Structure 1
Amino acid sequence: MPHDSRPATSKVPAVTLGFWLIKIAATTLGETGGDALSMSLGLGYLVSTAIFAVVFATAVGAQIGARRFRPLLYWLTVVATTTVGTTLADFADRSLGIGYAGGSILLLALLLASLVIWYRVLGSIAVDSVATPHAEAFYWITIMFSQTLGTALGDWTADSAGLGYTGAMMIFGGLLLAVAAAYFWTRLSRTALFWLAFVLTRPLGAVVGDFLDKPIDHGGLALSRIGASGVLVALMLVFILIFPQRPADKAY
């Protein structure tokens, strides 16, 4: 593997309360934004996935090419992973006919494979080790799989399991609280807890997004997808301004 001569400066944010609040807003935006393009504008899942995939690839390229941590660029890239994850999961689950369960199992396998390969190649999957282009590439691929998995899990829980959007929100919110409790009161691996929480914020955002824009007779609020997306963009910007944004400390 060629040596990277650039300084090993982290370009991902430190994991703080602000990080998680922005992440949940971003994942909710991914659901409403993805549905706005595929459903409200009528482009369908495949075309929408192709559009968001180009945005995702462009954002990741800019993120990897950046010389330092840029909060707006980082969160734009996260939103790109959530939108492409939304339409890709919907395409796999619905258009390909493998269903929510099949899609969730497939995506979980891809996520675990990404983490295993990343660890075997670079020796760490900790966020504070993401300071080289190779680590960043693994980081964003893993995030994209986690966001897509989260969409499928959210739909599976709310629809197939019959819990509805509010029930699913309670399930995933409760699981996130359990992860937080494990972080503060156990000695479980911080890296494992981070990735578990990272995955769980996506289905939470997915069901919150569906709750906002799905019809009232389906348990939603029937809000405009485009309008809800605009509000979520504004909320993310407020959070980014309120909560200090600093790069994660390197672990080496």
Structure 2
Amino acid sequence: MAERPLKIPADDINRVPRVTVEFWLIKLMAVTMGETAADYLAVNMGLGLTVTSIIMTAILIGAIAMQFAQRRYVPWIYWLAVVLISVVGTLVTDNLTDNFGVPLLTSAIAFSIALIVTFILWKAKEGTLSIHSIFTARREAFYWLVVLFTFALGTAVGDLISEVFGFGYITTGLIFGAIIAVIAFAHYAFKLDGILSFWLAYIFTRPLGASLGDYLSQPSDYGGLGLGTIYTSLMFLAIIAFIVIYMSFNYEPEIEGSPEEPLR
């Protein structure tokens, strides 16, 4: 007689992906595309920041609604939400800077405070910040709010260092790449807490990706390669689509109690 399969309660299945090499690669591609796609829509297509922000926010709300309607991780829906929230996060910072005249340093400080407060509330309400236990609507709401703040913060910090402080896109990218390498080393060599390691790396991949996107897309007069926002966005979109398809065929549900794999 065949063994009866174990029935897993839907509410105990994680709604976000495992932390693997593919996760970090697609995350970096998504944040890079968010930077270039926002610039393309607002500048190259001539929609302007306000119209672009309204359109992309409306689309993001639809994608997040689809994500919340799921009771498990569905790769294409989850990563669609990540790409869109990356674009919107960029637009939030750009609007504050260009339309409201808020200095990038002020935006960086404000988003840092918002991020810390969200983490504190999440920890107080749920008792954990682990992404391996996102199986309720409230935890998922905290998760996506944190993701939005990391993208807006990363845009502000990346632009602040590369443009205002004058380090340029390559140097800025190397700075954040080095910071992520230090975090990874501390995690593996000195057993830095897995949850802390994950969120620190997650936060710093945003300015790294933004610097990479700006370097590839911006004209050579501004220190870039001059590939343009449309070609850069399409290139990263193709890579994202390929990885998502791969993930879709290799996905296994992650249930509560899975071990932390923050920087695998």
Give TM class, smaller chain. Answer: over 0.9
Q: Which residue of 1 aligns with 2:261?
A: none
Q: Which residue of 2 aligns with 1:177?
A: 181
RMSD: 1.6
CA separation in 2, counterparts of 1:111 and 1:227?
Answer: 32
Which aligned pairs between 1:48-197 and structure 2 lie closer than 5 A? 48-197=52-201
Q: Which residue of 2 aligns with 1:250?
A: 256
Determine if contact 1:127/1:248 at 8 Å carries over to the other structure. Answer: no
The share of aligned pairs that are identical, in percent, is 35
Q: 1:173 to 1:245 in 2, by over 3 A?
A: farther
- Equivalent pairs counted in the alignment come to 248
Cα shift readout 1:99-146 (whole Å, capped 9, x = no counterpart): 111110011111111111111111111101111111111100110011
AA aligned opposite 1:251: G
Cα shift readout 1:19-47 (whole Å, capped 9, x = no counterpart): 10110000001001111111111222222
Determine if contact 2:218/2:228 at 8 Å carries over to the other structure. Answer: no
C-alpha deviation, 1:192, in angstroms: 1.1
Determine if contact 1:46/1:88 at 8 Å carries over to the other structure. Answer: no
Determine if contact 2:71/2:135 at 8 Å carries over to the other structure. Answer: no
Q: Which residue of 2 aligns with 1:228?
A: 232
C-alpha deviation, 1:67, in angstroms: 2.7
Determine if contact 1:27/1:82 at 8 Å carries over to the other structure. Answer: yes
Gaps of 5+ in 2: 1-8, 259-264
Q: 1:161 to 1:246 in 2, by over 3 A?
A: farther
Report the TM-score, using the length of structure 2 for normalisation.
0.89
C-alpha deviation, 1:187, in angstroms: 2.2
C-alpha deviation, 1:240, in angstroms: 2.9
Cα shift readout 1:202-246 (whole Å, capped 9, x = no counterpart): 001111111111111100112221221111111112223446444
Determine helix, strand or coil for the equivalent of 2:17: coil
- Work out which of the two has the higher radius of gyration on C-alpha atoms and give 1 or 2: 2
Determine helix, strand or coil for the equivalent of 1:170: helix
CA separation in 1, counterparts of 2:81 and 2:251?
Answer: 15
C-alpha deviation, 1:249, in angstroms: 4.5
Gaps of 5+ in 1: none
